């Protein structure tokens, strides 16, 4: 098992902690609380109980026979994170961090959200645990994920519209960090992906690694062995690292991350950090960042709000450098095609985010053999209005 | 003329940050609390920024922070965010900031501190940044998202070009961090007055004065206090407790509050108001 990050929070040259001085003490406090609690029996029992009896874990592993036929000649299994309570993998991390926050005595929670899934998950965790919840969301994302805005408000969260910059996930994180700098003594920031300053990339990964752990056990039972490949979409990278983490040590498993190819290869048209980005520091961590020659962060585009982000988790940057994980991208159009195809052939409407992993398989599955597992990270109900709107226009 | 300077052996040119050293020892001699002004470079435009700095000096500013606009300024409140956006929209780059610094340096010895975030610097390359900063007469650099632990990433380049580094302390800083920042800061320490982002505030943080006394006992370097300072009463409360105050949003807000032609005068009026100095004769 990999022992990254190192003590200072680096995955090779990526990661670290680049934040205003005001937050440094809070990050230390969070890290030491986490390191203590992850070995604490009562904490783990509490989390396991909630994951089982509230979230509905373990999530099923569904074989997708008809969709697999469209892709190539392999057995395809979907890890059904869409069947978690709240409809995506985000709840695994939101609940874990909310439990830590409560034990740290912090009763005000803030979060950012792009597609709204992390916001809904955090609002849910806060409702369950009796914590105050404020969610920052870009105005563009609020418009395209209206249903999730309504859900968060139903759950008792305050949703704060962010009107600065590109008015998407990046700007929501800026605003959440500004809130945290201001209210750091009473507030815990539940970051939703494997991003941000140390220890977030480690903590979020650890809470999401349940996905791959379950998948490996389920696959062993169903197929008698390890999968040949695992595929997941990569925005910040939490669902993919969640699937991959326990598989890293099994060198025979091909690991494939799929970024948002958007509508073209030019800066501003996509969120493919590995083909268009350069090393940079954004939101507290060093990673691959889409930016101009002067270090100004680029705007991004993706049909899916959850992948629409100019940086990528630092552990992914290191896994790409070492070659352990391969990264490709999938265009808006191909993701949309997969969105429809999975719905029609399997009776499962995937999140547009997850549809990127499926889209890559539709086009590139010919090269795969044996057993393939895809993380179906979320359900697509939230995206139905977006897709319906496109049909109307088209 | 700059070529001449560059061709001299480096050991003959003075340590650039000696301007800041001189300033702080002069302030202590005079028992005066210094005034450091922040401006976002390129807002409203490059030439106006140069004129603003000149007027700020005339109004009693002792040192100037030249803000390099960044697209995602997480430590800044709405006023400086908006100024950064305007400056970037006009196409302001790090090169314009160096050009502004050179123009100021051609006529003045006022200490200049480049103020930004880490990404624009490492993207430009710390080495090239330090070299050009030295050439432009910049004395020191402050990067708000570069904590003291990560200082080595730029320190070598800055030292090689005799540009200083300033680090921040906050109300939440532990004793160990206070020690490390005191060691790492070359010219002075920037103390953040309150937990929060930049922006003018009506009142100082009620815990500030006692906390400041406590921090002051633990450091040996000069201490400048910033964030929220916008009124004469704030200056009065802080003088005698720190070596300088830093005023940003109040000045940047005044610059934006009207036509570009009047921006230098409006900025200067903020400085005079806080120092409570009568306006210069017309």
CB contact under 8 A, A178 and B74: yes
CB A180 within 8 A of CB A190: no
The confidence score (pLDDT) of residue A393 equals: 60
Compute the count of residue pairs across chains A and B with CB atoms less than 8 Å apart: 115
Whether residue B65 lies in the annotated active site? yes
Distance from C-alpha of B107 to C-alpha of B103, rounded to nearest angstrom: 7
* Cα Dmax for chain B: 52
> Residue A365 above 80 pLDDT?
yes
Q: What are phi and psi of A311, to 5 degrees?
A: -125, 175
- Contact at CB, A178 and B77, closer than 8 angstroms: yes
Q: What is each CA distance from B133 to A186, B101, B130, B152, B168, in whole angstroms? A: 40, 8, 5, 18, 20
User: ipTM of this predicted complex?
Assistant: 0.95
B169·A165 Cβ contact <8 A: no
Residues A96, A37: Cα–Cα separation, whole Å = 10
pLDDT at residue A287 above 90?
yes
% of chain A surpassing 90 pLDDT: 94
Q: Which pLDDT score is estimated for B279? A: 62
Q: Which residues of A touch B225 (CB under 8 A)?
A: none
Predicted confidence at residue A166, as pLDDT, reads 86
Contacts of B192 in chain A (CB under 8 A): 20-22
Give Cα A317 to chain centroid, integer Å. Answer: 15
Nearest chain B residue (CA) to A27: B172
Q: Specify the residue for token string 């009473």.
A: A186
Q: How far is B74 from chain A (nearest CA, A)?
A: 5
Task: Among 3.30.420.340, 3.20.20.70, 2.40.30.30, 3.40.50.300, name the CATH number for the domain at B18-274.
Answer: 3.20.20.70
Q: Which residue matches tokens 């520091």?
A: A281
B206's tokens = 């009620």
Partner-chain contact B168 A21, CB within 8 Å: yes
Q: Which residues of A340-368 are buried (b: 16+ CB within 10 A; e: fewer)?
A: ebbbeebebbbbbbbbbbbbbbbebbeeb
The pLDDT, as a whole number, for residue B281 is 55
pLDDT band at residue A1, thresholds of 50, 70 and 90? very low
The residues on A that touch B, with CB distances below 8 Å, are: 8, 16-26, 28, 164-165, 170-171, 174, 177-178, 181-185, 278-284, 289, 291, 293-297
Please state, in angstroms and rounded to a whole number, the distance separating the CA atoms of residues B55 and B44.
Answer: 15
Active-site pick, A90, A106, A341, A382: A90
E strands along B96-163, which residues? Answer: 112-116, 140-143
Would you call A283 and B74 a contact, using CB atoms and an 8 Å cutoff? yes
pLDDT of A185 above 50: yes
CA angle (A347 as vertex; A343, A351 as ends), nearest 5: 50
H or E segment at B49?
helix B46-58
Choice among B45, B55, B62, B65 that is catalytic:
B65
Count, residues in chain A: 394
User: Distance between CA atoms of A154 and A19, rounded to whole angstroms?
Assistant: 33
Cα-based angle B41, B45, B50 (whole degrees, multiple of 5): 65
Residue spans of beta strands (DSSP E) within B68-169: 112-116, 140-143, 164-169
Q: B81 to chain A: nearest residue by CA?
A: A164
> CA B122 to CA B157: how far, in whole Å?
11
- Burial call B118-143: b when 16+ CB within 10 Å, e when fewer: bbbbbbbebeebbbbbbbbbbbbbbb
Q: What is the pLDDT of residues A187-211, one digit of tens each?
A: 999 999 999 999 999 999 999 999 9
What is the arithmetic mean of pLDDT over A157-178? 95
d(C-alpha A309, C-alpha A173), whole Å? 10
Torsion of CA B194, B198, B200, B205, to 10 degrees: 0
pLDDT band at A324 (very low <50, low <70, confident <90, very high): very high
**Contact state of B123 with A294 under an 8 Å Cβ cutoff:** yes
To which H or E segment does residue A103 belong? Answer: helix A90-103
pLDDT at res. B17: 61
Gap between the Cα atoms of A327 and A99, Å rounded: 33
Q: In this structure, what token pair is assigned to residue A311?
A: 């940086």
C-beta of residue A368 within 8 angstroms of C-beta of residue A296:
no
Question: Which tokens belong to B10?
Answer: 């480096």
Tally of residues, chain B: 282
- Which pLDDT belongs to residue A389? 86
Q: Min CA distance, A2 vs chain B (Å)?
A: 24
The b/e string for A99-118 (b: 16+ C-beta within 10 A; e otherwise) is: bbbbebebebbbbbbbbbbb
pLDDT value, residue A390? 82
Per-residue pLDDT of chain B (282 residues; tens, 9 = 90+): 334 333 333 444 445 569 999 999 999 999 999 999 999 999 999 999 999 999 999 999 999 999 999 999 999 999 999 999 999 999 999 999 999 999 999 999 999 999 999 999 999 999 999 999 999 999 999 999 999 999 999 999 999 999 999 999 999 999 999 999 999 999 999 999 999 999 999 999 999 999 999 999 999 999 999 999 999 999 999 999 999 999 999 999 999 999 999 999 999 999 999 999 766 555
Tokens of B98: 């160096």
Query: Could you give the CA distance from residue B104 to residue B98 in angstroms, rounded to a whole number?
Result: 10
Let me know: does A23 contact A178? Beta carbons within 8 Å: no
Domain boundaries, chain B: 18-274
Closest CA to B223 of B236, B238, B234, B207: B238
Q: B172 vs chain A: nearest CA distance in angstroms?
A: 6
> Angle at the Cα of A13 (from B190 to A277), degrees rounded to 5?
95
Residue B169 and residue A21: Cβ atoms within 8 Å?
Answer: yes
Residues of chain A in contact with residue B171, where contact means CB-CB under 8 angstroms, are: 22
Backbone angles phi, psi at B169, to 5 degrees: -120, 155
- The residues facing A331 across adjacent strands are A262
Inter-chain residue contact B144 with A291, CB threshold 8 Å: no
Q: Say what angle helices A41-50 and A90-103 make with each other, to 10 degrees.
A: 140
* Token pair in block for residue A29: 């406090």
Structure tokens at B251: 């000045």
Q: What integer pLDDT is reported at residue A361 of this predicted model?
A: 98
The span from the CA of A326 to the CA of A289, in Å, is: 17
Q: What pLDDT is stored for residue A3 in this prediction? A: 73
CB atoms within 10 A of CB B18: 14
Please judge whether A283 and B94 are an interchain contact, meaning their C-beta atoms are less than 8 angstroms apart.
no
Annotated active-site residue in A31, A112, A214, A337? A112
Nearest to B172 by CA among A285, A187, A101, A34: A187
Q: What is the mean pLDDT of residues A107-120?
A: 96
Which residue is closest to B92 within chain A, CA to CA? A294
Give residues with Cβ within 8 angstroms of B181, minimum separation 6.
Answer: A21, B148, B167, B168, B169, B173, B189, B219
Q: What are B76's two structure tokens?
A: 């800044």
Catalytic residue among B55, B76, B139, B243: B76
Q: Which two tokens stand for residue A16?
A: 């670290």
Q: For position A37, what pLDDT does the model report?
A: 98
């Amino acid at each position: 098992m990999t022992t990254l990050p190192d003590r200072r929070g680096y995955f090779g040259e990526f990661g670290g902690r680049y934040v205003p001085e005001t937050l440094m003490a809070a990050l230390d406090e969070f890290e030491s609380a986490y390191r203590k609690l992850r070995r604490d029996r009562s904490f783990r029992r509490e989390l396991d109980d909630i994951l089982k009896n509230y979230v509905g874990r373990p999530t099923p592993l569904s074989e997708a026979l008809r969709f697999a036929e469209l892709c190539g000649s392999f057995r395809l299994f979907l890890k059904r994170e869409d069947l978690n309570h709240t409809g995506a993998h985000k709840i695994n991390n939101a609940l874990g961090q909310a439990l830590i926050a409560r034990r740290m005595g912090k009763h005000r929670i803030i979060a950012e959200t792009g597609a709204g899934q992390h916001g809904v998950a955090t609002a849910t965790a806060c409702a369950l645990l009796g914590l105050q919840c404020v969610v920052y969301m870009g105005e563009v994302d609020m418009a395209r994920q209206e249903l999730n805005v309504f859900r968060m408000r139903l759950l008792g969260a305050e949703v704060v519209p962010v009107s600065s910059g590109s008015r998407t996930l990046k700007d929501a994180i800026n605003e959440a960090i500004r809130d945290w700098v201001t209210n750091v003594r009473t507030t815990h920031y539940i970051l939703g992906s494997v991003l941000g300053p140390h220890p977030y990339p480690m903590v979020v990964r650890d809470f999401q690694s349940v996905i791959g752990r379950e998948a490996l056990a389920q696959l062993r039972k169903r197929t008698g062995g390890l999968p040949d490949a695992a595929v997941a979409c990569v925005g910040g990278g939490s669902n993919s690292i969640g699937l991959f983490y326990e598989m890293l040590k099994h060198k025979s498993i091909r690991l494939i991350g799929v970024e948002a190819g958007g509508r073209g290869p030019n800066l501003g048209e996509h969120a493919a950090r590995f083909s268009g980005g350069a090393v940079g520091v954004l939101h507290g961590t060093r990673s691959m960042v889409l930016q101009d020659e002067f270090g100004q962060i680029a705007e991004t585009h993706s049909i899916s709000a959850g992948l629409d982000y100019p940086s990528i988790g630092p552990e992914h940057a290191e896994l790409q450098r070492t070659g352990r994980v391969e990264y490709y991208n999938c265009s808006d159009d191909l993701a949309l095609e997969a969105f429809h195809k999975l719905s029609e052939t399997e009776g499962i409407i995937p999140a547009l985010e997850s549809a990127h992993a499926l889209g890559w398989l539709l086009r590139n599955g010919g090269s795969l053999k044996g057993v393939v597992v895809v993380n179906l990270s979320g359900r697509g109900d939230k995206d139905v209005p977006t897709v319906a709107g496109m049909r109307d226009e088209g | 003329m700059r070529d001449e300077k560059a061709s001299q052996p480096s050991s003959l040119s003075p340590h650039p940050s000696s301007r800041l050293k001189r300033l702080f020892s002069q302030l202590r001699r005079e028992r005066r609390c210094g005034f450091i002004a922040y401006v976002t470079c390129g807002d409203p435009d490059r030439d106006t920024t140069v004129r603003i700095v000149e007027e700020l000096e005339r109004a009693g500013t002792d040192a100037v922070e030249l803000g390099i606009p960044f697209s995602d300024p997480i430590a800044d409140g709405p006023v400086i965010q908006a100024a950064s956006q305007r400056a970037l929209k006009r196409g302001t780059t790090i090169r314009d900031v160096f050009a502004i610094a050179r123009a100021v340096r051609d006529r003045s010895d006022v200490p200049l501190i480049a103020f930004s975030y880490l990404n624009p610097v490492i993207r430009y390359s710390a080495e090239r940044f330090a070299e050009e900063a030295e050439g432009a007469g910049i004395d020191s650099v402050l990067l708000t998202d570069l904590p003291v632990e990560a200082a080595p990433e730029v320190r070598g380049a800055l030292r090689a070009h005799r540009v200083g580094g300033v680090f921040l302390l906050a109300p939440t800083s532990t004793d160990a961090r206070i020690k490390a920042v005191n060691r790492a800061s070359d010219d002075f320490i920037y103390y953040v007055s309150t937990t929060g982002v930049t922006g003018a505030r009506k009142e100082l943080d009620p815990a500030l004065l006692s906390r400041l006394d406590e921090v002051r006992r633990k450091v040996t370097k000069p201490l400048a206090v910033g964030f929220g300072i916008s009124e004469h009463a704030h200056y009065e409360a802080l003088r005698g407790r720190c070596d300088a105050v830093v005023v940003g949003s109040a000045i940047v807000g005044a610059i934006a509050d009207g036509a570009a032609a009047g921006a230098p005068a409006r900025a200067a009026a903020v400085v005079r108001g806080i120092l409570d100095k009568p306006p210069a004769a017309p």
